């Protein structure tokens, strides 16, 4: 009887560990910029990234009739930080424009460093941009 309870306890412990290890926080920081109204909104969905990456500045302009966005990100830590980012563009109806062409790019921020990422719309119909930042380990 004692041996059976030990096996059940070991099985429960193994199941609990496998569930805990399998959970990876894939949410990140999202910066939404409306280029018609000039408003920007920062949504921080990741508790870990909220403490590591800060959005300092959002600017936008036009180049050759296409919208362009510049977003400055900063590391709040004293160590090197690796994140992935993607800038997606949306039309007036909120539909993503050409989603298959936008892949995540790697960004390395040294301790306390700030870097500006830039994205140019791939269509003149784009009115809103959305920057997604996620931890590189979440992409693995």
Read off the pLDDT of residues 93-117 as tens digits, 9 standing for 90 and up. 999 998 887 789 999 999 999 999 9
The residue extents of the domains of the chain are: 26-139
CB 73 within 8 A of CB 118: no
Class for the domain spanning 26-139: mainly beta
C-alpha angle 14/45/18, rounded to 5°? 5
DSSP codes joined into one string, 103-139: --EEEEE-TT-EEEEEEE-SSTT--EEEEEEEEHHHH
CA 90 from centroid of its chain's CA atoms: 17
How do residues 42-62 score in pLDDT, each as one tens digit?
887 777 788 898 899 999 999
Q: Which of 60, 120, 63 is nearest to 89 (CA)?
A: 120
Model confidence pTM above 0.85: no
């Amino acid at each position: 009887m004692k041996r059976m309870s030990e096996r059940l306890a070991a099985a429960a412990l193994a199941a609990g560990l496998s569930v805990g290890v399998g959970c990876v926080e894939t949410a990140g920081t999202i910066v939404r910029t409306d280029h018609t109204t000039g408003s920007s909104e920062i949504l921080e969905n990741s508790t870990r990234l909220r403490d590591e990456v800060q959005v300092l500045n959002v600017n936008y302009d036009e180049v050759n009739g296409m919208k362009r966005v510049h977003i400055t990100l900063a590391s709040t830590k004293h160590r090197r930080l690796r994140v992935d980012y993607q800038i997606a563009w949306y039309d007036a109806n909120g539909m993503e424009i050409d989603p298959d062409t936008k892949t995540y790019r790697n960004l390395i921020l040294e301790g306390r460093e700030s870097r500006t990422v830039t994205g140019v719309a791939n269509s003149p119909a784009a009115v809103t941009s959305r920057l997604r930042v996620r931890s590189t380990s979440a992409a693995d």
